[in-house]
Amino acid sequence: MALLVLVRHGESTANLANIFTGWLDVALSPAGEAEAHTVAEKLRGFRFDAAYSSTQIRAERTLDIIVARPAWATIPVHHAEALRERMYGDLQGLNKTEVALKYGQAQVDEWRRSYTVAPPGGESLQQTQARAVKFYEAEIAPQLRAGHSILVVAHGNTLRGLRMYLEHLTPDQVMHLEILTAGICVYRFDEQLRILEIQNL
């Protein structure tokens, strides 16, 4: 049975400071490092054929911590640009609360959670999803069809886009889909890539 495990990176220093991060390349906070170890612990007993992360430090580091466990020391690890966080444009580096005070909470909610509306100078969730899904279909789905087990460590919005695609969620449903740092979602598929089970760990 094919298995796909989607993990959001542990808390970053920018998450901790409540800053729009996007393509800023920030490290894990000490709590984020601890979260990554907890992910490794929760995944104990899983067998993986390959692992992927984005090319951003917070996802790479989370994956490094996981695959440092002896059980996964030999699995091939790949880093993909396509899995990077949504490009947050002019909002990158700004404090989320301050931006809400300036532009209003409704505007900020739209920039953060609309499917089609892009934040100024940045990508919409739809655009972020398009590149993540293209990568998933080209690189990951063929391995799942072959019955492999794949681990992916990525970001809040690439994962929201992937989960929307895999679970056939509507734009309205994905608006309410929140993925916590170090959140784990496990999919089990049949040979036709039909979902048999979804498990949030």
Ligand X SMILES: O=C(O)[C@H](O)COP(=O)(O)O
Q: At 46, is the secondary structure helix, strand, or coil?
A: coil
Q: Which two tokens stand for residue 69?
A: 């466990």
Residue of 4, 21, 67, 175 that binds ligand X (CB under 6 A): 21
Radius of gyration of the chain, Cα coordinates, nearest whole angstrom: 16
Contact 152, 4 (CB under 8 A): yes
**Surface-to-core class of residue 34, CB atoms within 10 Å of its CB (0-12 exposed, 13-18 middle, 19+ buried):** middle
H-state helical runs in the chain = 13-16, 30-42, 57-67, 96-103, 105-113, 125-135, 141-145, 156-167, 171-175
12 annotated among ligand-binding-site residues: yes
- Residue with smaller CB distance to ligand X, 80 or 141: 80
Q: At 55, is the secondary structure helix, strand, or coil?
A: coil
Asked whether position 20 contacts ligand X by CB under 6 A, the answer is yes
Site pattern 111..150 for ligand X (x: CB under 6 A): -x--------------------------------------
Asked whether position 156 contacts ligand X by CB under 6 A, the answer is yes
**CA separation for the pair 123, 115 (Å, rounded):** 10
Q: Is 148 a catalytic residue?
A: no
Which DSSP category does 89 fall into? G
Asked whether position 85 contacts ligand X by CB under 6 A, the answer is yes
- Residue with smaller CB distance to ligand X, 89 or 143: 89
Asked whether position 155 contacts ligand X by CB under 6 A, the answer is yes
Q: Is 167 a catalytic residue?
A: no
44 annotated among ligand-binding-site residues: no
One of 60, 85, 123, 155 is an active-site residue; which one?
Answer: 85
- Tell me the residue type at 58: R
- Residue with smaller CB distance to ligand X, 61 or 155: 155
96 annotated among ligand-binding-site residues: yes
Residue of 48, 88, 135, 136 that binds ligand X (CB under 6 A): 88
Q: Residues at the annotated binding site for substrate?
A: 8-15, 21-22, 58, 85-88, 96, 112-113, 156-157
Q: For binding to ligand X (CB under 6 A), which residues are involved?
A: 20-22, 85, 88, 112, 155-157
- State the catalytic residues: 9, 85
